[in-house]
A and B are shown apart, each in its own frame.
Chain A
Amino acid sequence: MDKEFNVLGKRRFSFIMTLLIMIFFYLPIAMLIALSFNSARQGVIWTGFTLKWYSVLFRDDEIWRAFLNTVIIALTSSTVATAIGVLSAIGIYWHNFRLKRYFQALIYTPLIVPDILMGVSMLMFFVSLRIQLGLFTIFIAHVTFSISYVILIVIARLEDFDYSIIEAAQDLGASWYQIFFKIIIPMIKPAIIASFLLSITLSIDDFVITFFVAGPGSTTLPLQIYSMIKFGVSPEINALSTLLIGATFIISIFGLRFRKLIFS
């Protein structure tokens, strides 16, 4: 490694750029955190420390409802997306059936289309079928955009293993059922956990698609934040943002560390 540094030179330019970009990344975040403790109702002038915006936030029923909806959607959609995605990935890995090419196109396309296209098409779809917009339609939408990620993660993991492991299990007397439960599922456990976590993250973060397929009474946190930004900024939103940022930090650290708890 040290030798490489000679080739790379001092990297002064790239260092300064990295430093500036980091400031750029964290400046808005730092602003929100600071303002959430500022007693001023408006503006960026510091008028004193307060926790009152947090207490307002915690007494806000709408926020709690949105939070609950978000949690329900995130947990259910990631469970279903992970289950379907894991089965599909194993199915594709097991055999090149005739529909495989079609299925692959079907998996990759949702990863690339802009959110607005997915949102608009789903809205038209649900309305045309007279399906009531609400938590159920949000759930369907979230499962749909998560499945592709799950499949890709699980396939990548399966491809790390040699197919002869499956043949060895067969050779040693295992039926397909036993191979599924005793070999494949334990082998891809890390990928299953990772795809579940990723689906949760995607679900909690999604605004655009949810915006189109949500109905009355199915507000999620991102939708709540949107309407708070759009229709009158109250310092409450700073407090909510700070909590979300804090949660992100914790999840990031947890995401990097928790494996030790599960797999030791």
Chain B
Amino acid sequence: MAEISIELRNVTKIFDGDFVAVNNVNLSIEKGEFFSLLGPSGCGKTTILRMISGLEEPTKGEVILNGRVINDLPPNKREVNTVFQNYALFPHLTVFENIAFSLRIKRKSEAEIKKKVMDMIDLMRLNGHENKKPSQLSGGQKQRVAIARALVNEPSVLLLDEPLAALDAKLRQHMLIELDNIHDEVGITFIYVTHDQSEALSISDHLAVMNEGKIIQVGTPVQVYESPANLFVANFIGETNFIQGIVEKVEGNYILLKTEKLGEIWCYRDFEVKIGEKINVSIRPEKLKITIEKPSEEVLKNSFVNVFKGIVSERIYLGTHSNYIVSIDQGYQMKVYRQHIRYLLDENIIDWNDEVYVWWFADDSYLIKD
């Protein structure tokens, strides 16, 4: 078991006496990991971050840093630093002085300040910008100053509150890779708050999905994406097709589900189910196959395959792939993604109004409790 860096025990935060922002949250974050809090806006993720930094006090419960309860420690006494969403750089100080701020507060010697700040400037590749004011920097540079300013003090945990939200899409990708490198370099715990599922999936060691003040699921990105704990997680992280049904038959590792929308479908038995139980199945659009021809005999030999006929009711071409909405005979609209590997060569182009087959193996779906 790895050492624990931050632990939250039964933490609740109530604002103005009646708004429950965080509801009885338990969480432990390992030392040195990159942990993300993911959820829609207003789900309480930023409040958790602010309770760790000390900017908010928990109404109930304990915040524990390196084995010590820090509830009563003011933010200026915590070994935790924050990168704020809008950078919050001091407008009247230069880049150098912004980074040096916490060292000057601690009355470090001039030589030490100079060395540490310059190290940070090197690490963040801010060389040549030392004497600029924040207003003279680009968004990405401001971001790097904010990170450098938070890291120079060598905190044991770095908190990042949607740090990439203000950047444009391209730069965001770039900064994400850079953040990952910085994390490898400094080796401390990073807690990253975001509402963007692709950011959280791509960078985290573990992530917690939150909704309405509660933690819904904690796990690795693969666990959370492939085995969502409930409908909310499945829906919030990535696109999916939900089908509700009643268990009709159990055959070894597979079950036959009787659904209103698609009739009978085979699903993998991800957990114990009883016959007659109401259950949901999530089928990710990228796991569905879409073809003009009927699937080959070889495929159909597999008894746990689901094949449906339908008509393409919408197609969105996105370069790397196309998103289809296929109207299945019974009237159910299914989302299907199709990669374009050999698009203009020998790939069969499927377009609007084409009659198609949509099919998937029972193993590719995932059951979710109702």
Contact = CB atoms under 8 A, between A and B. Distances in A.
Interface string A224-260: 0000000000000000000000000000000000000
B76 A174 contact: yes
B76 A167 contact: no
A172 B92 contact: no
Interface stretch (B100-108, B176-184, B237-245): B100-108
Interface stretch (B79-87, B203-211, B216-224): B79-87
B283 to A, nearest CB: 42
Contacts of A186: 92-93
A90 to B, nearest CB: 15
A164 B85 CA distance: 9
Please classify how large the interface on chain A is, using the bins under 10, 10 to 19, 20 to 34, 35 or more. 10 to 19
B86 A171 contact: no
B139 interface: no
Interface in B83-125: 84-86, 88-93, 101-102, 105-106
B29 to A, nearest CB: 18
A164 B91 CA distance: 12
For A161, A172, A175, A186, the residue with the greatest tally of chain B CB atoms inside 10 Å of its CB is A172
Those 6 A-B pairs whose CB atoms lie nearest each other, nearest first: A168-B88, A172-B102, A164-B88, A173-B105, A186-B92, A173-B76
B91 A171 contact: no
24 contacts: A164-B84, A165-B90, A167-B82, A167-B84, A167-B88, A168-B88, A168-B90, A168-B149, A170-B55, A170-B74, A170-B75, A171-B55, A171-B76, A171-B150, A172-B76, A172-B101, A172-B149, A172-B153, A173-B76, A174-B76, A174-B101, A187-B91, A187-B92, A189-B92
Contacts of A165: 88-91
B105 A178 contact: yes
Contacts of B105: 172-174, 178
Contact of A162 (B77, B81, B88): B88
A118 interface: no
Nearest to A188: B92
B86 A162 contact: yes
A168 B106 contact: no
Given A175-B76, A187-B91, A187-B92, A169 B101 contact: yes
Interface string B120-157: 00000000000000000000000000000110010000
A241 to B, nearest CB: 42
B147 to A, nearest CB: 12
B290 to A, nearest CB: 47
A171 B81 contact: yes
A63 interface: no
Contacts of A161: 91
B53 interface: yes
Contacts of B74: 170
Interface in B318-348: none
Contacts of A187: 90-92
Q: Which of A165, A173, A189 has the most CB of B within 10 A?
A: A173
A169 to B, nearest CB: 7
A84 interface: no
Contact of A173 (B84, B91, B93, B153): B153
Nearest to A167: B55
Interface in B150-175: 150, 153
B6 to A, nearest CB: 15
A183 interface: yes
Interface in A28-76: none
Contacts of A173: 76-77, 102, 105-106, 153
A99 B272 CA distance: 62
Interface string A154-185: 00000001101101111111110010001100
